[in-house]
Amino acid sequence: MENNQQILGTEPVGKLLLKYSLPAIVGMMVNGLYNVVDRIFIGNIPGVGPLAITGLGVTMPIMTIILAFGMLIGIGTSTNISIKLGQGKRDEAEKLIGNAITLIIGIGLIITVIGLVFGDQILQLFGASEGSLQYAKAYINIILLGSIFNLIGFSFNHIIRGDGNPKLSATIMVVGCIANIILDAIFIFGFNMGIQGAALATITSQFITAIWGLSYYLKGKSNLKFKKSNLKLDKSLIMAIVAIGSAPFAMQIAASCVQIICNNSLRTYGGDLAIGAMATINSIIMMVGMPVIGISQGAQPIVGFNYGCQKYDRAEKTLKLCIVYATLGLSVGWLIVQVFPVQLVSMFNSDAELVSISVDGIRKYLSMMPLIGISMIGSNYIQSIGKAKQAMFLSLLRQVILLVPMMLFLPKYFGLNGVWFAQPIADIVSCVVTTILIIREVKSHKRVNVDEENIEKKAVYM
């Protein structure tokens, strides 16, 4: 374990980023495929595809809320583990794992109960119509039953990576995704279970990843050890998890709110099919954006450890490399979206009207996609160095402070186009603000280094 952690402060940054980011990218791509594969299968169910994928689009805010809690615990725990290890506090790092398990079980049960009891009201609030409600309910009720497995699988994907085993976290996610694809085909078409089969396939595969992740610690194979005594919640550790995890949590909750507002605007100005189009667009965004999230997650332990050791130059070099890689990747994704939109959206449904709405929407909605990398990487960097308030602001800026007002205002004057153009406007402004804050943060590190050098020189002369 010591060697695994010490290389974070000594090995070349480019090599480290490759080592940690590639498994993270694979893991996030696989995690994204859970939802994307479901949508591809569901959208191609004969006779009900368009309405079924619309129903799935209505459930997206709920799925995002579950993901938000997974990020709160997973990222909050893994980031704190990296910082504690960088500070040489191994016992506290181990306590974080036990506390995370207790939090996951408690939150998972609460989500399941609330979702099942108030399901109809929630789905109607989130944009379900009489036609799409039955499909949305059939899907989400089963997903809610597997909330704990979902949270464990996602959270421990982060925790295991922070524990110094990024390859295992990626392997677990890949196996879970392959299981999901196979089970989707079996349940949806083999057993004719329709949209319920897709949900059952998802929670079964999540169960596999959850058990595997837990067994890594329960069987003592991990670097950091699991102890039953650490299951008892420690207020200071919970606050530390929440402080760091609150930024990505807020971002996902904000995304859920945007999805709710967006669904209702889409239903008002474009009908049910417009919601189905956005579900398709979000699936493509997920696959293009997941590598960027993977890069930022791979960078997290590198930035956290070196910042904890006050090796600011290495943390900043990681930031710069991440921004370059993310921007290049998103630029390639933008080019593919603009040149081959019909081919992309046709994977999810062949209905001519739905494809037409989706193609028009995706070109406009993702027109500023190359700029997103700066906002995403910048927010993650601020989060990784433990500055929770600034990270929260940057997370909320793009998805709430800017996007929500535009989603409410623009459609009143521009109709459906107002929904499509709200996101690129928010992307431009958030990119500018994030750049300014990152430059200020980097300059503050350089001032600290200069002050330390002056102190050392004075000490020598004295």
Residue 285 has pLDDT above 50, yes or no: yes
Are the C-beta atoms of 213 and 219 separated by less than 8 Å?
no
User: How many domains does the structure of the chain reveal?
Assistant: 1
Residue 261 placed within a domain:
yes
Q: What is the mean pLDDT of residues 255-273?
A: 89
Are the C-beta atoms of 409 and 403 separated by less than 8 Å?
no
Query: How far does CA 43 lie from the centroid of its chain?
Result: 23
Residue 390 placed within a domain:
yes
Residue 3 placed within a domain:
no
- In whole angstroms, what is the distance from residue 244 CA to residue 389 CA? 9
Residue 389 contacts by C-beta under 8 Å, 6 or more apart in sequence? none
Residue 459 placed within a domain:
no
Residue 329 placed within a domain:
yes
Residue 461 placed within a domain:
no
Residue 458 placed within a domain:
no
DSSP state of 402: I
392 pLDDT tier (thresholds 50, 70, 90): confident
- In whole angstroms, what is the distance from residue 314 CA to residue 311 CA? 6
Domain around 237: 9-452
Query: Helix H segments across 340-384?
Result: 341-346, 352-365, 372-384
- pTM, two decimals, is 0.76
Per-residue DSSP letters for 19-67? HHHHHHHHHHHHHHHHHHHHHHHHHTSTTTHHHHHHHHHHHHHHHHHHH
pLDDT digits (tens, 9 = 90+) for 55-87: 888 998 999 899 999 989 998 998 888 888 778
Instruction: Give percent of the chain with pLDDT exceeding 90.
Output: 39
pLDDT computed for residue 31 by the predictor: 67
200 pLDDT tier (thresholds 50, 70, 90): very high
DSSP state of 271: -
Residue 440 contacts by C-beta under 8 Å, 6 or more apart in sequence? none
- In whole angstroms, what is the distance from residue 369 CA to residue 289 CA? 9
DSSP state of 223: S
Averaged pLDDT score across all residues of the chain? 86
- In whole angstroms, what is the distance from residue 34 CA to residue 36 CA? 6
- CB count within 10 Å of CB 429 equals 17
Residue 275 placed within a domain:
yes
- In whole angstroms, what is the distance from residue 395 CA to residue 196 CA? 34
pLDDT digits (tens, 9 = 90+) for 95-149: 998 899 999 999 999 999 999 999 999 999 999 888 889 999 999 999 999 999 9
- CB count within 10 Å of CB 63 equals 21
